[in-house]
Structures are given as structure tokens and as C-alpha cells.
Amino acid sequence: MLSSDFMCFITYFALTMKQDLPRHKGQRNQLVKELIAKGIRDTKVLKAISIVPRHLFLDSSFEAYAYQDKAFPIAADQTISQPYTVAFQTELLQLKPTDKVLEIGTGSGYQASVLHQMGVKVYSIERQKELFDQTKMLMKKLGNNFIMKYGDGFAGLPTYGPFEKIIVTAGAPRIPEKLVEQLALNGRMVIPVGSGTQEMKLVTKDEKGEVHVENYGSFRFVPMLSNRNS
Ligand code: SAH
């Protein structure tokens, strides 16, 4: 006969052990169709979104909505980006398998996991300690072993650069100089710039080191803030 404590433990374990089930896969395929309808074309991006289990990156109270094309709150008053935004930014990066990619704003780890799933080398910086610790633990559990740093994205990661690609997932007040410095020749950086609503900007550095900026429409992100918080 099993003790009631043990039964309680089993129930608790069953409830908290989140899984990736066939119905989740079906919901992801549905989401991919929606993203195609909204104009996403890069098959490698769509493939990664069909694989990464977004419901595991959200609080369980949002699990039922994880595959809607919406942003949701995560810890420390931050948000997990809308799948369309993740797909749009990733597509703009035009990833190559040999790319070293720097992400600013790890948040839930979802965007970084999509990049990781695409086979590139990912470095991701988060300034919120609570979120950083929580996401680091989750990524370990999921086996997503990209490099995570607790720090200020405005400074980038000079010792690991230059990066062929940089993606900023918080609304930046301006294009940070240090990130432009750490962008490789022929590199691409995708960054939303502005307060309130942001303009998505594609910053490219040509083979001579000249920098060009193009606009790609309006988006809404939580703000990119200076300094780490502890
Ligand atoms: N890419 C995330 C989106 C997170 S929202 C995801 O897929 O879930 C933006 C994140 O940027 C927040 O977690 C916020 O704390 C972080 N952030 C804001 N300013 C930052 C900075 N200067 N350096 C690093 N991270 C920053």
C-alpha cells in the first residue's frame, strides 16, 4: 500500500512535469501556417518554430494559449515576444550555419532557443537577475545549451565578438555604439528602436566597415534599460 505522502508527491510531480505532447506539435503546425499567412517565408525559421515547445517557456496558467500568435507576461514584468515578431526578426538576420549570434534580452529564452535550434552559435545577455537565474535553470532542463550571460546588453560581449548577427529583443532608445562595433564585416543587426512603439531597424555593416540602416515597420517591445539589476 502506498503512503498518502507518496501519492501526494506523485500527483505533484505529474502536475509539474511539463511535457511536449502530440497536441502541442499540432498546435505548433497551426501556428506555422498562421505565420506563413502573415508573410514569413524562411523555411528554416518556420521549421525551428515547429520544433521549439513554446508552452514550456511560459507560466502554466498561459499554457493553453502558448501557440496563439501573442506576447505573454513572464517573470520580472517582462514579456515573451509574439511568435510573428520572433519569426520576423530571425528571418531578417538571414542566418548561415557558421554564424555567431548575439541576442540582447534573453527573457524566457524562447527566441534564443529558436536560434539555437537553427544550428548557429548563440550568446544571449539578460539584465534581470531573477529572470536570468530562472531561464538558465529551464534551459538546462530542456538541454538548450547556448551561452547565457547576466549583464548589460548596451555593452555587448566584446570578448566573444565580433558577431556575424546581433538581435535585440527589447526596445532600444538608440542603436548602441558598442553593438555596432561588435558587428562583424558583412554582419546584420536587427533592433527595434524608439520609446513606446519601436521602428524595427536592420543595421548592416558592409565589407569596408560602412554602416547602413533600413526600416522594417512598427513593433512594440518592453524597454531596453541600462545596467544590470540585481
Ligand atoms: N527574447 C525574449 C524577449 C524578452 S523581453 C524572449 O524570447 O522571451 C526583453 C528582455 O530584455 C527582458 O527580459 C529584459 O529584462 C531584457 N533587457 C532589457 N534591457 C536589457 C539590457 N540592457 N541588457 C540585457 N537585457 C535587457
Percentage of the chain exceeding pLDDT 90 = 83
Cite the beta strand spans of the chain per DSSP E.
72-73, 79-80, 100-104, 121-126, 147-150, 163-168, 183-193, 198-205, 211-219
Higher pLDDT, residue 69 or 5 = 69
Res 11 pLDDT > 50: no
Res 150 pLDDT > 90: yes
Q: Which helix (H) or strand (E) is 132 found in, with range?
A: helix 129-142
Tell me the domain boundaries of the chain: 4-219
Q: Which member of 81, 108, 113, 124 is catalytic? A: 81
Ligand 1, residues at Cβ distance < 6 Å: 78-81, 104-105, 107-108, 110-111, 125-128, 131, 152-154, 169-170, 222, 224-225
Q: Do residues 172 and 192 touch, judged by C-beta distance below 8 A?
A: yes
The protein residue whose alpha carbon is closest to atom 23 in ligand 1 is 153
Query: What pTM was computed for the model?
Result: 0.93
4-219 is classed in which CATH architecture?
3-Layer(aba) Sandwich (3.40)
pLDDT digits (tens, 9 = 90+) for 176-230: 999 999 999 999 999 999 998 999 999 999 999 999 999 999 999 999 999 777 6
81 is catalytic: yes
122: Cβ contacts below 8 Å, ≥ 6 apart? 101, 103, 112, 115, 116, 146, 147
| 86, 205, 211, 212 from 111: Cα distances, Å | 6, 23, 25, 25
pLDDT at 78: 87
pLDDT digits (tens, 9 = 90+) for 51-96: 999 999 998 888 999 999 999 988 888 889 999 999 999 999 999 9
Percentage of the chain exceeding pLDDT 70 = 92
The protein residue whose alpha carbon is closest to atom 21 in ligand 1 is 153
